[in-house]
Chains A and B, each alone.
Chain A
Amino acid sequence: MNLTLKIWRQKNANDKGKMVDYQVSDISPDMSFLEMLDVLNEQLINKGEEPVAFDHDCREGICGMCSLYINGEAHGPDRGVTTCQLHMRMFKDGDTIFIEPFRAKAFPVIKDLVVDRSAFDRIQHAGGFISVNTSGNTIDANAIPVNKHDADDAFSAATCIGCGACVASCKNSSAMLFVGAKVSQFALLPQGQVEATDRVMNMVKQMDEEGFGNCTNTGACEVECPKGISLENIARMNSEYLKASLKG
């Protein structure tokens, strides 16, 4: 396949940035999207130009490091995958592909397609944990049975990879799906009950401080989420928040 790429180039956080056109040829439909970018970068290096910077690591859809806003969609046109699992067979010979960074006030661009998502970490520092000591002297793991459905739902919420696609897809740049997933995981488990009130209050407070927008129930986040994190998690967080607020 031969493709035209329109890629966001931005030298650093202070640079204004612009779209730049590139051509790539002989792209195999079996390549992943990032392997296609590897081909472009090899081409640029050999010409003495600077390669396009993008985040990536595991390349199997689990680390959450890769991002990219491809043809107007976080992680591109396929569903239920991250950019590293998006394959070129989703595109046609002669296509023009627009590649931009995840955009949000809380995700400033570092370089080209690389953004700073440390706001997500700070939300987790505020309450994304259960306060047990890592001593190994806890009770036996089977001492508290957990209803299988609750355990499965908690697991589904916990499969969030923290990539930020939900924020990038939201017209308000809201992080509610990300925060809702963590709040839900612990809200569904007996271990998480003890600190439930403080957790949801602290995490939401930090989320607001980071400059993420509000949720207006559009649902784009759920559609674009590579892990299929459900909107139910936002509803559950809202209910946890309401409960916590009433408790004071």
Chain B
Amino acid sequence: MSLDSKVPKGPIADKWTNHKNNINLVNPANKRLIDVIVVGTGLAGGSAAATLAELGYNVKAFCFQDSPRRAHSIAAQGGINAAKNYQGDGDSNYRLFYDTVKGGDYRSREANVYRLAEVSANIIDQCVAQGVPFAREYGGLLDNRSFGGVLVSRTFYAAGQTGQQLLLGAYSAMNRQIGRGKIKMYNRHEMLDVVVVDGKARGIITRNLVTGEIERHSAHAVVLGSGGYGNVFFLSTNAMGSNVTAAWKAHKRGAYFANPCYTQIHPTCIPVSGDHQSKLTLMSESLRNDGRIWVPKNIEDVKAIREGRLKPTEIAEENRDYYLERRYPAFGNLVPRDVASRAAKERCDAGYGVNATGEAVYLDFASAITRYGKEQAHVKGLDENDAALVKKLGQEVIKTKYGNLFQMYEKIVDQNPYETPMMIYPAVHYTMGGLWVDYNLQTTVPGLYAIGEANFSDHGANRLGASALMQGLADGYFVLPYTIGDYLADDIRTGPISTESKEFEEAEKNVRERIEFFVNNEGKHSVDYFHKKLGKIMWNKVGMARNVKGLTEAISEIKALREEFWKEVKVPGTANEFNEELAKAGRVADFLELGELFAKDALHREESCGGHFREDFVEESGEQKGEAKRDDENFAYVAAWEYKGQPSEAQLHKEELEFNDIELKQRSYK
């Protein structure tokens, strides 16, 4: 099967409008005859469910949490981008489009990204109308801040809880439709298979996580908004329950999986402190607006710090290496995430890490506190030279901007970041790869759609900060509700889909067999035992820096671990009850397959781009020495993998990326 991206013809700025004008519509009376399943209730799934229901479709929405409001979009901190140009600093749809394509290291599909930029402004209007309390200036208008990889202020925010506020907005839109009976909500339900009838996605099999009941649900189309797969690394900033199962089942039923190796390692997370750790906590990129990243210049100071003889605040300015400002003067601390993460790793690998494990750098707010403090003193007519006063006033400003993040840091690390710099280190945060979708967000299985982080299309090989929220809501509110109509227009006479077909039967049988296996297997090790081992392989060999030897080893180690898992996994309890270990077992089984495909994809991509950094593809000389070396001649394509029974046998399909509106060039932030 050849991949058809279905990108409409015509100039890039007109594509979406023309497409909307030309696709089929379903009339309001007929929408009542059509059912749509939405899996996942984060920003993408939640906004899609609400909008589809509002349009008149009968929506069934599913989440594994106890309420749709708890999906992990809620944890997004920093903000959401939109090309509003409220700051008058030269922003435009084209600039947002350009920054996103460049930030993604020229590995995303131009037309999709342009559309994203085009609808971004609408998202802000929509959310404000819903009562999302964005931060405002004293004049009552919306405030903005800056994020990495751009030179304008286009990020809208609600303190450090932007994801929470946007998700509660989408949740409230869902609640309105649940109240009207247009969305039927299934909490604590996990999707365990997609049902394909006559080549079309026609339903799903779910497990009720409270009773253990296996259920069949049918619909005319299935939408997956099930998020990313960062938890394949065990330790990540994802929620404990975030998983790849929905996307992976779709893959096994024929949906191609695109660019699995594109993973975002976020530069500013709280470092790992010990083996007991169950997850990592992000410190928002917005902190890089005011925080400066550094390590000591002298290795003796590093040693003294590690031995507790020296405090970071005691190191003089000239003995600090603000390495991002040094290496990237144009963007400084606001370089994109992949660049900032690699730079931190480079310093720590060179021996300059500032904590006991040697894997931490400082994020320092002292100069911002002084700057804001002086400004406040000036505004209030107080003494700008009174250091204690300036510090106090400055800390108050920092508190209003980042208070919840500072509190979170203090609770976890037991140090006061107002007084001493934060320690941070990169951690797995987001997956740019995902199910391959065309311009309509449809996967290679007709009637099966993927939106938000679950698809691959908009962020290329590296996502810019504050773009995930934008994409989730763009897909759910403004893209999918149009494009799905084009497909469903053929279904107005189909009538309800029966759940009695042999396809439903077969899918349910598979699900039941796997559950029976888990609860009856007399293994030796818990699910977490295997998950942690998988995570270690992924982090050490498929993490921030990759090479042929490590990737080849990872592939065989993951395969061996998977075999051991199926022999030795131990799941207590029974199938017909609330059983978290059972739910986890199914998720880890899928991670153990995805992990191998992930490494295979990383091995095949013989270039460095964005979050995919191959040590064997590095600029060796010139101004860009040491930076990633992309190979546009051979790798400017989307790698879409088709399932063939085993991850190792997955078949590669290429979607060549065309760049008509942006010149392909080396990404420079210097």
Contacts and interface: CB of A to CB of B under 8 A. Distances in A.
A217 interface: no
Q: From DSSP, what is the main secondary structure of chain A's interface residues?
A: loop
A81 B414 CA distance: 14
A38 B135 CA distance: 38
B326 interface: no
A108 B573 CA distance: 21
A246 interface: no
B67 A121 contact: yes
Contacts of A110: 210, 578
B606 to A, nearest CB: 37
B276 A31 contact: yes
Nearest to B180: A125
A87 B414 contact: yes
A126 B62 CA distance: 20
24 contacts: A30-B274, A31-B276, A32-B278, A49-B572, A58-B70, A58-B74, A58-B75, A58-B240, A59-B281, A89-B414, A120-B67, A121-B68, A129-B130, A132-B129, A134-B50, A134-B130, A136-B119, A141-B127, A145-B139, A147-B140, A151-B133, A151-B135, A155-B158, A191-B128
A120 B187 CA distance: 13
B66 A59 contact: no
Contacts of B303: none
Interface stretch (A40-48, A207-215, A233-241): A40-48
Given A48-B572, A148-B136, A38 B276 contact: yes
Given A59-B239, A158-B168, A141 B124 contact: yes
A192 B133 CA distance: 11
Interface in A1-18: 11-12
Contacts of A38: 276, 278, 528
Given A148-B136, A155-B159, A121 B129 contact: no
B141 interface: yes
The winner among A39, A44, A159 for most chain B CB atoms within 10 A is: A159
A51 interface: yes
Interface string A180-206: 000001100101100000000000000
A135 B125 CA distance: 10
Given A45-B526, A63-B74, A116-B66, A133 B54 contact: yes
Given A139-B125, A155-B165, A111 B407 contact: no
A223 to B, nearest CB: 17
Contacts of B165: 155, 158
A62 B161 contact: yes
Interface string A53-88: 101111111111100000000000010110001010
Interface in B595-625: none
Interface string B106-125: 00000000000001001111
Given A56-B240, A128-B172, A80 B140 contact: no
B526 A59 contact: no
A130 B158 CA distance: 19
A130 B65 contact: no
Given A57-B240, A125-B178, A142-B86, A42 B526 contact: yes
Given A57-B239, A151-B135, 8 more contacts: A28-B274, A60-B408, A61-B411, A62-B161, A124-B171, A141-B84, A144-B128, A192-B131
A31 B164 CA distance: 25
A121 B63 CA distance: 13
B541 interface: no
The winner among B54, B67, B131 for most chain A CB atoms within 10 A is: B131
B319 interface: no
Interface in B50-97: 50-51, 54, 65-70, 72, 74-75, 84, 86
Contacts of B164: 62, 159, 161
A134 B47 contact: yes
B583 to A, nearest CB: 11
B570 interface: yes
A130 B276 contact: no
B186 to A, nearest CB: 11
A166 interface: no
Nearest to B278: A35
A65 B63 CA distance: 13
Q: Lowest 7 A-B CB distances belong to which pairs?
A: A145-B140, A129-B172, A136-B122, A155-B133, A138-B129, A141-B128, A125-B179
A76 to B, nearest CB: 12
Given A31-B276, A126-B179, A139-B129, A62 B74 contact: yes
Interface of A: 11-12, 28, 30-32, 34-35, 38-39, 42, 44-46, 48-51, 53, 55-65, 78, 80-81, 85, 87, 89, 110-111, 114, 116-118, 120-121, 124-136, 138-142, 144-148, 151-152, 154-155, 158-159, 161-162, 185-186, 189, 191-192
A55 B65 CA distance: 9
B364 to A, nearest CB: 23
Given A59-B240, A191-B129, A134 B477 contact: yes
A198 B134 CA distance: 25
Contacts of B50: 134
Nearest to A126: B179
Contacts of A142: 86, 141-142
A53 B138 contact: no
B136 to A, nearest CB: 5
A147 to B, nearest CB: 6
B273 interface: yes
Contacts of B241: 57
A46 B129 CA distance: 53
A117 B210 CA distance: 13
B175 interface: yes
Interface string B127-166: 1111101111111111000000000000000110100110
A148 B478 contact: no
Contacts of B478: 136
Contacts of A57: 65, 70, 72, 239-241
B2 interface: no
A65 B66 contact: yes
A191 B185 CA distance: 26
Contact of A111 (B51, B136, B141, B578): B578
B506 interface: no
A189 B158 contact: no
Contacts of B171: 124
Contacts of B12: none
B219 to A, nearest CB: 20
Nearest to B141: A142
Contact of B72 (A45, A63, A80, A129): A63
Given A62-B164, A191-B130, A192-B131, A51 B173 contact: no
A131 B47 CA distance: 14
A58 B236 CA distance: 11
Contacts of B70: 57-58, 63-65
A125 B279 CA distance: 32
A144 B142 CA distance: 10
Contacts of A135: 126
A121 B155 CA distance: 30
B277 interface: yes
Given A60-B281, A133-B54, A85 B131 contact: no
Interface in B528-569: 528
A136 B125 contact: yes
B89 to A, nearest CB: 15
Nearest to A63: B70
A162 B171 CA distance: 12
A142 B70 CA distance: 29
